[in-house]
Structure 1
Amino acid sequence: MSAATELRPARLRFRDVVRVGGAGLRARPTRVFLSALGIAIGIAAMIAVVGISTSSREQLNQQLDALGTNLLTVGPGQDLFGDDAQLPAESIGMIGQIGPVSGVTATGLLPDTAVYRNDLMPSGETNSIAVLATDLQLLDTVGATVAGGAFLDAATAQYPAVVLGAETADRLGVGAAGPAQLVYLGGHWFTVIGVLAPAPLAPELDTAALVGWPVAESLLGFDGFPTTVYTRSDENSVEDVQAVLAATANPEAPHEVDVARPSDALVAQQAADSTLNALLLGLGAVALLVGGVGVANTMVISVLERRAEIGLRRSLGATRGQVRLQFVCEALLLSALGGCGGVLTGIAVTAGYASVQGWPTVVPVWAMAGGVGATLVIGALAGLYPAIRAARLAPTEALATP
């Protein structure tokens, strides 16, 4: 065997590299913890933002799947002079003649009618509650439900009976529907027969008091003109129906009709939330960068403190490459520790927030893998310079360090 072969340095196995790198971290637990914490905060912020955003989007998708995206609303717009227009009383029946339309209903606003908890309330304290005459098919068409009591039917719509929206019941202090539960509406006592659950696709119902169409005309002076018409159509024909609704509702003045798709408002709200999430994601990236600087600082100080150790290793035969690999491994382990802790923290934050909001917990796999991958890249970059600096130390120079 030649002398050159005998002096060839032994190759470090992967397990040995990890063991040596881990020993360097265990020697300085407090500093390692603080550096890993900086990485963890950045990763946790990124994972939480992505997870909460994704969970919110999943909740919206489930909500739209349950409620449907085929609901369209028709309302009066403005005429050429900027005055409020009016839908014809026949618009409900005409819209119902559209082929793909599977359901149509309407509400009519009683602008000069207010509802109070009792007849002793000052007339100005209306709590911004709208009184609406309603068609009996309202709940089926808009996808709303009754939280307590019952909705109007052919019998109760003829008499002073009222159904309160979810927010209306809270504002009036009505806890539950029942024969003994009365409110003062339009100068008459009305029995509260039901309370609605929140209606996501028709939020205007949440702050409304709903009375039957017949009693509104006979007792409250309702003129019979609808102010909002709700339609359900075939899923594949929503755009086609939307295109002809204005002309159908008011053939003489289609430009005075507003047509909307409530589900679009929910999607737009989600888009606005996504913009905010992008900002928060950027802040998380900044925190991650700060954590990377902490890793670099830790490794540089480690090199300065361990010059004697480096010199001893070099004297015993360790090559520059082995020393360099040791310090890169330490940086990677430090970053991986912070990254894994950050991912777990981000998942916990997402799960906790989603649970409070009643959302499904969804954390994309790409976000978790990307978070750990980002920490490893930052760790490698942060540890590269200290590793090169450590490898360049001559054994005699390093051992001479006091």
Structure 2
Amino acid sequence: MKPIDAPRRLKASRLGPRDILHVGSAGLRGRPVRVILSALGIAIGIATMIAVVGISASSKAQLLRQLDALGTNMLIAKPGEAMFGQGDVELPEDAPDRVARIPGVQSVGATGDVKRSIRRTEKIPTGDNGGITVKAATDGLLTTLRATVTRGTWLNPATAAYPAVVLGDVAAQRLGITEPGRQVWLDDQYFTVTGILGPLPLAPEIERSALVGWSAAERYLAFDGHPTSVYERSADAAVGQVRDLLARTVDSENPQNVAVGDPSAALQAKAATEGAFSTLLLGLGGIALLVGGVGVANTMIISVLERRHEIGLRRSLGATRGQIRIQFVTESLMLSGLGGLAGIGLGSAATAVYAASGALPWVVPLWAVTGGFAATLVIGTVAGLYPAVRAARLSPTLALHAT
């Protein structure tokens, strides 16, 4: 008698990637409103994080662009504080010529304070000068500062010897001068405005000044000829060497009386610390992202409760617990992924609007996009694990009977 073969145990069929996506998206397609509301929390969190990082990166890129244009190779020598309070310190009259002889120095410019008042007309009281200072300027100042004359012309050997003045942009605004050719009252006579400078981030004191030629200041304004600021621009490789020699060159007998400064240091520090305040906003975005993750988990738990009949039917037809888990984890991942993509788009758009309004370069770091999207996937996985395990543990008989 032929023995009866033992029944073979049936193996569950494997789900391919296409099948996983199909069953995972079924719940999303059936409840679009709930999907949108759940994904909104994730989208807000990611949009906040992308916008904060993008705005910070755009501002920093603008600062670095300014530094590239203005250069970090300019130093300023000014009078320091005298030891033991021995009166005011004055730089030598030939300080600009001395600085020009330092190896590596490419250009030198100087200004000297002139204790005179400038007003729109002689009818205005003497003390009402709008905070504008009068300075004598050398011909090389424009080149050294890399300044631009937005209207008119800079001082030349002819105008520098006569009652002519060039205004910084802030000084021009305060005096109400918009075009060259107008006259302003300086000390006890009229000076003709020959030019108006553009903004100078590295020399804000020049923006609020009225600049007169060196010889004209000596002739008409009793200027003593001592510079109060000597600006020099050197080759990038020689900045350190020039810094070491600058004070001793300006005043070899008392170098301690000369203060050497780097006007670009403030912009460099600002660029280095740009985004420090954004850490708080990033934390708020992270909290919003976690809240969105809790919303996704809540949505998935409710989905499991509402779809017990579907789960029981699939289990009775041969679906394994692993396949049920994969279905709900995939659904959670897709829900979070949709929110992440929407958040990336919203955050990038917010950064673009901010950059366009402030004439900044639009920068959204790649690490922020990839990191933010990866965070949504991690949150989606964590949020979907418990609902997926709970769905897989449902008994097919009880699930079908419950409905």
- Per the TM superposition, whether the score is higher than 0.5 is yes
1:120 to 123, 145, 168: 123
Which 5+ residue runs of structure 1 have no aligned equivalent? none
Amino acid of the structure 1 residue aligned with 2:340? G
Cα offset for 1:118? 2.2
2:278 maps to 1:274: no
Alpha-carbon distance between aligned partners in 1 of 2:164 and 2:7, rounded to the nearest angstrom: 105
Q: 1:164: which partner in 2? A: 167
Alpha-carbon distance between aligned partners in 1 of 2:264 and 2:207, rounded to the nearest angstrom: 16
Most deviating of 224-233 and 23-32: 23-32
SS of 1:274's equivalent?
Answer: coil
Cα offset for 1:329? 0.6
Q: 2:93: which partner in 1? A: 89
Task: Check conservation: 1:55, 1:359, Cα contact below 8 A.
Answer: yes
Q: 2:294: which partner in 1? A: 293
Cα offset for 1:3? 4.3
* Distance change (3 Å), C-alpha of 1:401 and 1:200: same
Alpha-carbon distance between aligned partners in 2 of 1:54 and 1:385, rounded to the nearest angstrom: 38
Task: Check conservation: 2:53, 2:275, Cα contact below 8 A.
Answer: no
Percent of aligned pairs sharing the same letter:
55
Alpha-carbon distance between aligned partners in 1 of 2:302 and 2:89, rounded to the nearest angstrom: 75
1:45 to 42, 45, 48: 48
Q: 1:206: which partner in 2? A: 207
SS of 1:297's equivalent?
Answer: helix
Q: What is the CA RMSD across the aligned residues, in angstroms?
A: 1.8
Amino acid of the structure 2 residue aligned with 1:219? Y
Most deviating of 48-57 and 383-392: 48-57
Most deviating of 27-36 and 277-286: 277-286
Alpha-carbon distance between aligned partners in 2 of 1:302 and 1:81, rounded to the nearest angstrom: 81
* Distance change (3 Å), C-alpha of 1:334 and 1:250: same
Q: 2:104: which partner in 1? A: 100
Amino acid of the structure 2 residue aligned with 1:87? L
Output the TM-score relative to the length of structure 2.
0.93
Most deviating of 267-276 and 231-240: 267-276
SS of 1:200's equivalent?
Answer: coil
Which 5+ residue runs of structure 2 have no aligned equivalent? none
Alpha-carbon distance between aligned partners in 2 of 1:361 and 1:11, rounded to the nearest angstrom: 47
Task: Check conservation: 1:143, 1:201, Cα contact below 8 A.
Answer: no
Task: Check conservation: 1:45, 1:281, Cα contact below 8 A.
Answer: yes
Cα offset for 1:2? 7.4
Q: 2:384: which partner in 1? A: 383
Alpha-carbon distance between aligned partners in 2 of 1:193 and 1:104, rounded to the nearest angstrom: 22
Q: Runs (4+) of structure 1 moved beyond 3 Å? A: 1-5, 81-84
Q: 1:9: which partner in 2? A: 12
1:65 to 65, 68, 72: 68
Equivalent pairs, count: 398
Cα offset for 1:239? 0.5
Amino acid of the structure 2 residue aligned with 1:28? R
Amino acid of the structure 2 residue aligned with 1:139? L
Task: Check conservation: 1:161, 1:193, Cα contact below 8 A.
Answer: yes
Most deviating of 357-366 and 380-389: 357-366
SS of 2:274's equivalent?
Answer: helix
Task: Check conservation: 2:54, 2:348, Cα contact below 8 A.
Answer: yes
* Distance change (3 Å), C-alpha of 1:187 and 1:302: farther
Cα offset for 1:206? 1.3
Alpha-carbon distance between aligned partners in 2 of 1:340 and 1:365, rounded to the nearest angstrom: 14
2:355 maps to 1:354: yes
Amino acid of the structure 2 residue aligned with 1:280? L
Alpha-carbon distance between aligned partners in 2 of 1:235 and 1:146, rounded to the nearest angstrom: 25
Alpha-carbon distance between aligned partners in 1 of 2:126 and 2:7, rounded to the nearest angstrom: 107
SS of 2:19's equivalent?
Answer: helix
Q: 1:311: which partner in 2? A: 312
Q: C-alpha deviations, 1:351-375, integer Å up to 9, x for none?
A: 2222222222222222221121111
Amino acid of the structure 2 residue aligned with 1:171? R
Cα offset for 1:377? 1.0
Task: Check conservation: 1:104, 1:229, Cα contact below 8 A.
Answer: yes
* Distance change (3 Å), C-alpha of 1:85 and 1:15: same
Amino acid of the structure 2 residue aligned with 1:136? D
Amino acid of the structure 2 residue aligned with 1:96? A
Q: 1:78: which partner in 2? A: 81
Cα offset for 1:169? 1.6
Most deviating of 390-399 and 235-244: 390-399
Q: 2:59: which partner in 1? A: 56
Amino acid of the structure 2 residue aligned with 1:313? R
Cα offset for 1:196? 0.7
Q: C-alpha deviations, 1:84-103, integer Å up to 9, x for none?
A: 52222222111111111111
Alpha-carbon distance between aligned partners in 1 of 2:185 and 2:364, rounded to the nearest angstrom: 50
2:26 to 20, 23, 28: 23
Q: C-alpha deviations, 1:208-257, integer Å up to 9, x for none?
A: 11111111111112111111110011211101110111111122221121
Amino acid of the structure 1 residue aligned with 2:28? L
